[in-house]
Amino acid sequence: MAAKKNAKKTVKVTQTGSPIRRDKSQRATLIGLGLNKMHRTVELEDTPDVRGMIAKVAHMVSVEG
């Protein structure tokens, strides 16, 4: 069980919306999350920083976990 305590929580983020006609900061946030193409999925560590970035582009992404 010690390995489970040290395991970091992650979230899967999938880009579902296009950054076309969006603010430059929202495009930059998607790139910062590792997303730059539709339907691309990345697994990220669940931190307050990542959660804030997800909140900024919540209308263009879906989150699992």
Read off the pLDDT band of 61 (50, 70, 90).
very high
pLDDT digits (tens, 9 = 90+) for 23-50: 999 999 999 999 999 999 999 999 999 9
Strand partners, 3: none
Q: How far is CA 62 from the centre of its chain?
A: 8
Q: Which CATH class is domain 7-64?
A: alpha beta
Distance in angstroms (rounded) separating the CA atoms of residues 54 and 33: 8
The model's pTM:
0.86
Torsion angle (degrees, nearest 10) of CA 65, 37, 61, 64? -10
Q: What is the DSSP string of 19-63?
A: -TTS-HHHHHHHHHTT--STT-EEEEE--HHHHHHHHHTGGGEEE
